[in-house]
Amino acid sequence: MSVLNYCESQRRIDDAIESSLIPAGDGYIHRINAGQVIRLVDLEGNQAVDTLFYNADDFSERYSAQATIMAQSSVYLTTGTKLMSSEGNVLLTIIADTCGRHDTLGGACSRESNTMRYAHDKLFMHACRDTFLLQLQKWGVTNAKRDITCNINFFMNVPLTPEGGLRFEDGVSAAGRYVELKAEMDVVILISNCPQLNNPCNAYNPTAAKIYIWNP
């Protein structure tokens, strides 16, 4: 499947104020201040980076897949997409994208969904929902389950069929491709670098991702 909206960034890695490696299956949580820019890098290709965003000062305001889809009249995210909050505010804007197509319909894997989709013996496999919960609890969020909503799956390919269904297919990303976002307000980014082994979202081979942060 061809790239939808390929747009490179002019930012230099050497100018980033912070970088973090996120191994496959691990999580990441961090505050991003308004005006700062973040870059998520698919280091080896076809990895799925499950991501949520929150208002840094009020976790009851968080990324809304429904509002984002409605605002842009598209189910896919790419350069120019404004990520909308549950309160109708713009959290971040995608300002560069060398993958060109990101999913916000497929959701995050959980032990329960792994059991229903694949087999009962998958119940004990690690899943993104577990990672989200662990990272939120480390951040001091006491009602973590309540704060996990429909997420973005950066680099993941979930085509919408003409009948209105969804399919998990091989990714459209490749090694070194990235997506870059500018924070329009103070936000907290929450990542689960997906450990999924049961569908082709990451070519059955979960790999590391990397994040960079730049000041305005």
Q: Please tell me the predicted confidence (pLDDT) of residue 142.
A: 78
Q: Please tell me the predicted confidence (pLDDT) of residue 2.
A: 41
Average confidence (pLDDT) over 133-149: 88
The answer to which of 155-164, 178-187, 190-199 has the lowest mean pLDDT is 155-164
Is the pTM value of this prediction over 0.95? Answer: no
> Residue 189: pLDDT above 90?
yes
Average confidence (pLDDT) over 109-121: 61
Q: Please tell me the predicted confidence (pLDDT) of residue 147.
A: 84
> Residue 203: pLDDT above 80?
no
Environment class of 12 (CB within 10 Å of its CB; exposed 0-12, middle 13-18, buried 19+): exposed
| 133 closest CA partner among 144, 118, 141 | 144
The total of other beta-carbon atoms located within 10 Å of residue 147's CB is 18
pLDDT band at 122 (very low <50, low <70, confident <90, very high): low
Average confidence (pLDDT) over 8-22: 97
Residue 22 DSSP SS3: strand
pLDDT band at 16 (very low <50, low <70, confident <90, very high): very high
Environment class of 43 (CB within 10 Å of its CB; exposed 0-12, middle 13-18, buried 19+): middle
The residues, any chain, with a CB within 8 Å of residue 63's CB and separated by 6 or more, are 52, 53, 54, 83, 84, 85, 86, 91, 149, 150, 151, 152
Residue 145 sits at φ, ψ, to 5 deg, of -60, -40
Q: Please tell me the predicted confidence (pLDDT) of residue 172.
A: 81
Contact indicator for 46, 203 with CB cutoff of 8 Å = yes
Average confidence (pLDDT) over 158-173: 72
Q: Please tell me the predicted confidence (pLDDT) of residue 1.
A: 38
Give the rounded distance of the alpha carbon of 14 from its chain centre.
Answer: 24
Measured CA to CA, the distance from residue 212 to residue 126 in angstroms comes to: 26
DSSP state for residue 209 in the 8-state scheme: E
Residues 213/42/21/180 CA torsion (nearest 10 deg): 10
Top pLDDT among 141 and 33 is at 33
